[in-house]
Every structure is written in structure tokens, then in C-alpha cells.
Amino acid sequence: MATNEIIKPTDVDITGSSIIINWDDGHRGIYPHRMLRLRCPCASCVEEMTGRALLNPDTVPQDVRALDQMAVGQYALQFLWSDAHYTGIYTYRSLRAACTCIPCNEARARQP
């Protein structure tokens, strides 16, 4: 795959204890539900001009889950969360960067 091509999901499974995204480059991404909900990039959760977090983590239930998901164009996913939040658009690039699998965590730990 060329470096300028966008890596896209081939499958998104929201039914387990974590959201699993299989990517078209063969990577299997693991995303705990609450971790992704707390990273919501919408204007209600993040101040648009500064990027400062507005979402109080204490207001998000510990057991929050994605109930549904849909593709947004050719660049992002949107989730419907069990706390009725649904306005965040998660770009494929931001989802790949947030992956919690062991190889991704090890790669982040090696970065200066």
C-alpha cells in the first residue's frame, strides 16, 4: 500500500468487551469502548479553537459501550454510544493512532 493512501477498516466489531477494527493492511486494532468515548473529538467534548478537553470523564459511565457505528465518507467512523452521545467523527488516522494492541503500545513506547 502506498504511503499516501488512507488505510481503511474492512470490518468493525462493536459486540465484545472492546471494539475491534480490522484494517485493510492486515492490522487488527483493539479499542476499549470507554477509552474511545473519552477521546470523542466533537465540539461538545473538545474546544474547537484550542483543542482543550471539555468532556468531564466523571460524566461518562464506566460501562459505556458503542451500540452502533457507521462510516462517514471515506475517512472516518461515527459511533452511537450507550450514553446517547453520537456526534463525534473519528478519523481513520486518529483511530489507528489510538490502537491499544501490544505492537502499537510497544511502538509508542519506543518513540522519543
pLDDT over 70, % of the chain: 96
pLDDT per residue as tens digits for the range 76-101: 999 999 999 999 999 999 999 999 99
How confident is the model at residue 44, as a pLDDT? 96
Q: Among 31-40, 68-77, 93-102, 103-112, which stretch is predicted with the lowest mean pLDDT?
A: 103-112
pLDDT band at residue 4 using 50, 70 and 90 as cut-offs: low
Structure-block grid coordinates of residue 63:
460501562
pLDDT over 90 (residue 41) = yes
Q: What is the spatial order of strands in the sheet that 66-72 belongs to? A: 66-72, 76-81, 89-91
Q: Where are the domains of the chain?
A: 9-110
- Domain 9-110 in CATH 3.30.2020.30? The answer is yes
